[in-house]
Amino acid sequence: MDIVVTGVNSFGSKDHLRSNISTLYNSIVEYFGENIMPKSQKILNTVVPIIKLKFDLSEYYTAYSHEKALPYVNFDSIETINPHIRVLSVDISL
């Protein structure tokens, strides 16, 4: 999944943009933690800085299904779900 956030620091310096991305990255990592998000990376020294995330959906459902109205997904059964879709890869650019 690719997410593009527009209108953030459009006219600021590259350093300010990198700072905004670092702040967003730190907030995401702190909120979800390593169980739900086993891989995360911020790439700042490119033309378009991005945040790369990988979510373990089975861990997410275990942690949040009681708080939110999420549809039931049986991640433990190979017959009901493809193991390759247990992970959601997300790239965020500002």
Whole-number pLDDT of residue 75: 65
The residue with tokens 């459009």 is 10
Whole-number pLDDT of residue 47: 81
CA distance linking residue 65 with residue 91, whole number of Å? 24
Dump strand ranges (E) for 1-94. 2-4, 39-43, 50-56, 87-93
CA distance linking residue 60 with residue 36, whole number of Å? 5
List the beta bridge partners of residue 91: 2, 52
| pTM for this entry | 0.76
Is the predicted pLDDT of residue 65 greater than 90, yes or no?
A: no
Question: Within 10 Å of residue 11's Cβ, how many Cβ atoms?
Answer: 5
Whole-number pLDDT of residue 25: 93
pLDDT digits (tens, 9 = 90+) for 4-42: 887 765 567 788 888 888 999 999 999 999 999 999 999
Whole-number pLDDT of residue 83: 62
Whole-number pLDDT of residue 49: 87
